[in-house]
A and B are shown apart, each in its own frame.
Chain A
Amino acid sequence: MKAIFLLAAILAAPPAFGQTKAKAQNVPEISYESVPGFLKLPANLYLGEGIGVATNSKGHVFVYTRSGDTRLFEFDQNGTFVRELGQGLYGFEFAHAVRVDRDDNIWAVDEGSNMVIKFTPDGRVAMVIGRRPEAVEGLVAATPGAPEPQPEPYVFSRPTDVGFDAAGNIFVTDGYGNSRVVKFDKNGRFMKQVGTKGNQPGQLNLPHTMAMDANGNVYVGDRSNARVQVFDNDLNFKTMYDNVGNPWAVCISPGPHQYLFVSNSIPDNGLAQYRDITGEIYKMELDGTIIGRFGKPGKQLGEFSTVHEIDCRNPNELFVAEITAWRVQKILLRPTSSAR
């Protein structure tokens, strides 16, 4: 199946990503450090592209990586390897995000199989949403320029991320093919969707990442439109933040005072023209007020190479997964005067 994807990539090479300089100016720098060698892998295991990272309530770290196979690993709060989940799973093909819900269930979003998979805390599959295409009669070459078919309630087209509200409703950003956010109830039943491809408010152009606040609002990283759009729990458009570049990864911390983190990641093509205008992560209030920024592009410890997912269960101890450096970094933010 890997070879098929390789082939599909050759047949339908995606357009190069644009990446823009954030409009926000004079943003305070937040000082930070990266913990060296936090994740400790057994000698025969390797990370590939760092695509997804999420922690559970015990501080265990889940890493969803594109290695030879797409794989999901669990580490404890000290970074010690615990186990692998979903070995050879039908829904694992090309990782895109991992998230943990309030009950410590682990959710994987796979943009290769078009599946969203819920694991129980002990690693068994509890529910799946979407359906992997059946490649029974061989492959049909993609038609260049063919319009995307109309979205169907339970069929994703390269979904990107998942979130949950207090009632257990499930929200999925979908994705590279479709341009929508879908709401399902806790039992996986379709409730509502919003979004078509475009740049008007409420429209989306690559909804790449999402996060939810305690009130059930949905923050969507509308990557190619260079903005974070905020929808209420019924997916009505509320507002947007368009001053923090192209959001590759967003995260909202829990607790009484929630923060929004947004990564204006350097594109994965690593072109030099983006080096001075991208690579930073913004710490914001939920209303869009920017508190500060940190990070710069690069491959060294503490630098960021295409941040793809952020975990911010503790807003001062982040985990960031990076595509092109094949790693997950633990980032400690030093308290700032504006941090409350």
Chain B
Amino acid sequence: MVRWFCFAAILATLLAPGTFQAPAPAEIAFDGSADFLKLPTDTYLGEVAGVATNSRGQLFVYTRSGNPTVGLGNSRLFAHGGSRLFEFDRNGTFVREIGQGIYAFLVAHAVRVDPQDNVWIVDEGSNQVVKFNADGRVLMILGRKPEAVSIRVPSPNPSAAPPSRGSSGAPGAGGAGDQFVRPSDVAFDSEGNIFVADGHGANARIAKFDRNGRFLLSWGSRGSDTGQFNVPHSIATDTQGNVYVADQGNKRIQVFDGKGGFKSQMTNVGVPHAVCVSGGAHQYLYSSHAGDQYGMDDAAIYKLALDGRVVAKFGTAGKQLKQFGLVNAIDCRTENSLYVGELTNWRVQKLTLHPGR
């Protein structure tokens, strides 16, 4: 898929009738720290898919730890494990693990904390969204895990899009419910409604549920028109209830009202992987860009006003501090103190921004 993006990017460049040269956005001075989190000696992070803080500054990290347990059935494989959820205090000290051995933990994709400090995980392997309360107990499940790992023979036509799940409508529109296909992210509005980005697979939609998990509506299908998606990879809401969707394959962030009405799009953010709307009275939108599939050639984080104006960008690709290896999550509860989770660098970086410097 990523290779396809690169190809599309090259094609778009070649076909561009005239190159519009926007002024280079300002840089923000910043520091990066990768040893903020103190893990027990026998505990390791793998690919960090999600990182989020709660109102007390505690950190939750959802990581692809590997080593799932796979049971052999008759032509079927049963898998669980493979991802873990850790909690740290505001100083980075390890507090505990949450959800040990839980049925939904397979391939981590996101963790988010809602306004009531509930902790939500999104797992693209089990196709599930799980809500934990602040004590770490399960409160709600969206989606159902496939019973077994599928084994497929190679497709004679690998480029054919797989059918979306539970829908006879437009490709990727999905069904009227919570049958997710590799869901990627979750967000909430002030009324407690739940928005799920769905996702990495056959569906290309945003599904909205009420606070009790009852399906309300969904919008989007596969494509590049406004309101359509090509991998809705990350999602965030502002205090007005607007929904920001990182439409990764279309290289844009689309903005919708809470009912899915298209409002605007931002096309000056590279290839968005993770979005976050900061807390506080004056909100900003952060978006991580990764222009290559390795996180080694082209990466940055953009800081945008909510109207789409680029305030600044910072960072490069690579494995050193202040470099980014496929940032899959940003926590921006505090505007100038970010936590980013990186897939290819197996770490959480704490970024301290110095906008005035």
Contact = CB atoms under 8 A, between A and B. Distances in A.
Indicate the member of A88, A113, A127 with the most B CB atoms within 10 Å.
Answer: A88
B152 A139 contact: yes
A153 B70 contact: no
Interface string B283-326: 00000000000101000000000000000000000111000000
Interface stretch (A41-49, A54-62, A185-193, A283-291): A185-193
A211 B39 CA distance: 34
Nearest to A4: B70
Contacts of A125: 44-45, 346
B237 interface: no
Interface string A137-179: 1111101001000001111000000000000000000000000
Interface string B69-91: 01110000100001000000000
Indicate the member of B42, B46, B152 with the most A CB atoms within 10 Å.
Answer: B46
Interface stretch (B59-67, B186-194, B251-259, B267-275): B59-67
A1 B70 contact: yes
B150 A137 contact: yes
Given A138-B151, A140-B153, A143-B154, A3 B70 contact: yes
A2 interface: yes
A152 to B, nearest CB: 8
A146 B155 CA distance: 13
A139 B70 contact: no
A168 to B, nearest CB: 13
Given A154-B294, A189-B296, A137 B182 contact: yes
Contact of B152 (A134, A140, A153, A187): A140
Interface stretch (A89-97, A101-109, A195-203, A246-254): A89-97
Contacts of A2: 70
B66 A141 contact: no
A265 B206 CA distance: 57
B48 to A, nearest CB: 10
Contacts of B66: 1, 88-93, 113, 132
A7 B153 contact: no
A128 interface: yes
B159 to A, nearest CB: 15
Contact of B344 (A4, A7, A131, A136): A131
A34 B147 CA distance: 52
Nearest to A5: B70
B21 interface: no
A123 interface: yes
A188 B67 contact: no
A234 interface: no
A90 B150 contact: no
Given A88-B66, A123-B41, A127-B319, A136 B200 contact: yes
Contact of B346 (A90, A152, A154, A188): A90
B124 interface: yes
Indicate the member of B150, B182, B201, B319 with the most A CB atoms within 10 Å.
Answer: B319
A86 interface: yes
A87 B41 CA distance: 9
Q: What band does the interface of chain A fall in when counting residues whose beta carbon is under 8 Å from B?
A: 35 or more
A69 interface: yes
A29 interface: no
Given A3-B77, A7-B77, A140 B46 contact: no
A187 B44 contact: no
Contact of B72 (A3, A86, A188, A189): A3
Contacts of A4: 70, 77, 149
A140 B150 CA distance: 8
Contact of A1 (B43, B68, B294): B68
A136 B107 contact: yes
Contacts of A143: 154
A276 interface: no
B72 A90 contact: no
Given A92-B66, A189-B296, A87 B44 contact: yes
Contacts of B150: 137-139
Contacts of B343: 131
B249 interface: no
B50 interface: no
A84 B42 contact: yes
B91 to A, nearest CB: 18
A327 B39 CA distance: 31
Contacts of A93: 66-67
Contacts of A84: 42
B250 interface: no
A1 B81 CA distance: 10
A83 B41 CA distance: 10
6 contacts: A1-B68, A4-B70, A4-B149, A91-B66, A127-B319, A135-B107
Given A87-B43, A153-B296, 7 more contacts: A2-B70, A4-B77, A69-B67, A91-B66, A127-B319, A131-B343, A139-B151
